[in-house]
Structure 1
């Protein structure tokens, strides 16, 4: 007779019976005492003792928190941007420690935004930083759209199979298999581009007559909903950071105003599960394109053309630092990636490390040397040419942002109070002010000096 599959109730009863049996072996009474301590027995000690028996084979899931760990940054991967590192978790906590100045290891992140907002550039920059420190990256490209030349320009070792692996699966399920293997192996960074571009096998394998039909509604989201909780636990154990890139899509609206009349009319790919299981969710938008003069071979002239952009990053969700809803801006140069030098110069100028007068910039180095430049580009060249200049300037900026003065100023910021709501004004019950008596002559003459 075939064995019948247990339902949820049967499984729950089996778990309860197993725990009760383990408790009886050690003469530990269940239910536990109602008070925290009774007759010298600590309830938590009882639970831990039972758990060590129940999980004797696989090991108890109890996590012991070391007080010293609160005074150290969480293990992380640098983003390649001073601004993004600070936004994710670079602002010092009450111990004066940056909680997580970079993408957290052993966690999932979700970065999203409209097209050309820098999402893939941010992911490739994280890969370049990870590989540059001896780590490894697996890039799962469901879109089949990565530019190897651009990735190499950013610094990704795309030709080194020992550090970088590019996969372009046809179906969602094939990509998930690679993702699972990479996370289980403890690869430092896995990038998914993009999480909505993976086509489920049920849709990919449609016949010619079925092409164009959507199949089951919500199939992609349901697969991610089942897979992500398992992936989150696996990544936490292996230390892998999984970065999922999402495009923005219009919400399906069956009538009424955009967005159904509530909130934005766009949403991210992959369903709600990515919102729940991501430790970090960041929204990117291009807010300005910048022009510079450059040579144009078509006209054989120096012309103005768009060469870079300012990107605004907004922290939608953070489980690693108190940065929820924080915003910051950084630069991306077309063809080269994140321009961290420009961001550092801006921050250094704001903190007084670099003095600006008109178009002139002056930086006094720690060794006594002074760099004086006309314009940002001249300053950039001098900083890069000076021995140790870039490292010193960046370290000075990070130190200034983490200084006691910066923390003091941040703590002193007081939000403006909203005006009190007058219910009499709303209900129309406020008494009218008494009219002043202007005397027998009626209203006062506005031309009068009195």
Structure 2
């Protein structure tokens, strides 16, 4: 849905409501890059607390994550600019923008008003970041991944069609022009599973992803991920995606798996319903590996 992954040498935004999975997506992104590259290093600007245990549950090697704790906006942005210019890290994550406070605002008393202090500083950051995130087109340089986590707010006084509350994001409008990708994260449903003799266990959630802006590929692309925040009776571990369901979806997308109505088929095998096929390939790792190989081959062929 991103058109080949997060863009290099650009800033991207992950935005959503509280507890929708924004930080989880950032952690899983870092973990995937660390798996692919044993030297991949991240600067994590922790405007909120950095939960090392949770990051490790999500597959992050925290020994390769440099954590800078601050809620000072100017300090955070300076650290991000310095890290980008130094080329000392491969990724910079700010978690999260709403927890930052500009110095002008921080210097005032609670009953004193400050208008758009954060937006002004944020606009300045993006204007300054262009030079330090550039990489040579001639020499080989490692690209930089930049992610800023943000949170929706109700837009007071905005037009409300069909009773839907309009949304806005803190930080002003300048940042929206600067971001190369804006990825919206939302929780659409809970994952509840039966525990034999112990009732129902709530062990995960379905995370819906939508590219509300993408300058590298088609925008308005939508995907869903089944994520488990606790060990599930069906065997999924805490911090894991339902990768079997993802394999089925990618197989259908690239023509490796045939879908006819509610029936799915691969080779001579058939399943009634996606859940049935996903359950089979979760248990049959050889079958899943075969499907994965064919999916990767189809992806490579499509990209050629």
Same fold at TM > 0.5: yes
5 Å-filtered alignment, 1:42-441, equals 87-89=1-3, 101-132=4-35, 133-134=37-38, 135-144=40-49, 146-158=50-62, 160=63, 163-186=64-87, 187-206=89-108, 210=109, 212-213=110-111, 215-237=113-135, 239-253=143-157, 259-260=158-159, 265-294=166-195, 301-321=197-217, 323-334=218-229, 335-349=238-252, 353-354=256-257, 376-383=278-285, 386=286, 392-400=290-298
State the 1:227 CA deviation.
1.1
Kept in 2: contact 1:139–1:165 (CA 8 A): yes
Kept in 2: contact 1:309–1:331 (CA 8 A): yes
Q: Aligned partners of 1:170 and 1:351: how far apart in 2?
A: 44
Going from structure 1 to structure 2, the CA distance change for 1:261 and 1:190 (only over 3 Å counts) comes to same
Going from structure 1 to structure 2, the CA distance change for 1:177 and 1:349 (only over 3 Å counts) comes to same
Structure 2 portions without partners, runs of 5+: 136-140, 230-237
Deviates more, 1:148-157 or 1:326-335: 326-335
TM-superposition CA deviations, 1:196-254 (whole Å, max 9, x none): 21112233344xxx2x336321101110011112113311237322101110011233x
State the 1:393 CA deviation.
3.0
Kept in 2: contact 1:280–1:317 (CA 8 A): yes
Q: Aligned partners of 2:107 and 2:247: how far apart in 1?
A: 50
Going from structure 1 to structure 2, the CA distance change for 1:129 and 1:261 (only over 3 Å counts) comes to closer
Q: Aligned partners of 1:310 and 1:376: how far apart in 2?
A: 15
Going from structure 1 to structure 2, the CA distance change for 1:331 and 1:261 (only over 3 Å counts) comes to closer
Alignment coverage as a number of residue pairs: 282
Q: Aligned partners of 2:130 and 2:165: how far apart in 1?
A: 28
Kept in 1: contact 2:244–2:281 (CA 8 A): no
Going from structure 1 to structure 2, the CA distance change for 1:214 and 1:227 (only over 3 Å counts) comes to farther
Aligned CA-pair RMSD: 3.3
State the 1:88 CA deviation.
0.6
State the 1:308 CA deviation.
2.3
Going from structure 1 to structure 2, the CA distance change for 1:200 and 1:400 (only over 3 Å counts) comes to same
Partner secondary structure for residue 74 of structure 2: helix
Going from structure 1 to structure 2, the CA distance change for 1:264 and 1:396 (only over 3 Å counts) comes to farther
Going from structure 1 to structure 2, the CA distance change for 1:362 and 1:330 (only over 3 Å counts) comes to same
State the 1:331 CA deviation.
2.0
Partner secondary structure for residue 98 of structure 2: coil
Going from structure 1 to structure 2, the CA distance change for 1:286 and 1:155 (only over 3 Å counts) comes to same
Q: Aligned partners of 1:233 and 1:152: how far apart in 2?
A: 33
Structure 1 portions without partners, runs of 5+: 1-86, 90-100, 254-258, 296-300, 407-450
Q: Aligned partners of 2:265 and 2:256: how far apart in 1?
A: 9
Going from structure 1 to structure 2, the CA distance change for 1:360 and 1:302 (only over 3 Å counts) comes to farther
Larger RCO (CA within 8 A; separation ≥ 6): 2
Kept in 2: contact 1:360–1:375 (CA 8 A): no
User: 1:416 maps to which residue?
Assistant: none
State the 1:392 CA deviation.
4.5
Structure-2-length-normalised TM-score: 0.80
State the 1:329 CA deviation.
2.0
Going from structure 1 to structure 2, the CA distance change for 1:286 and 1:392 (only over 3 Å counts) comes to same
Partner secondary structure for residue 216 of structure 1: coil
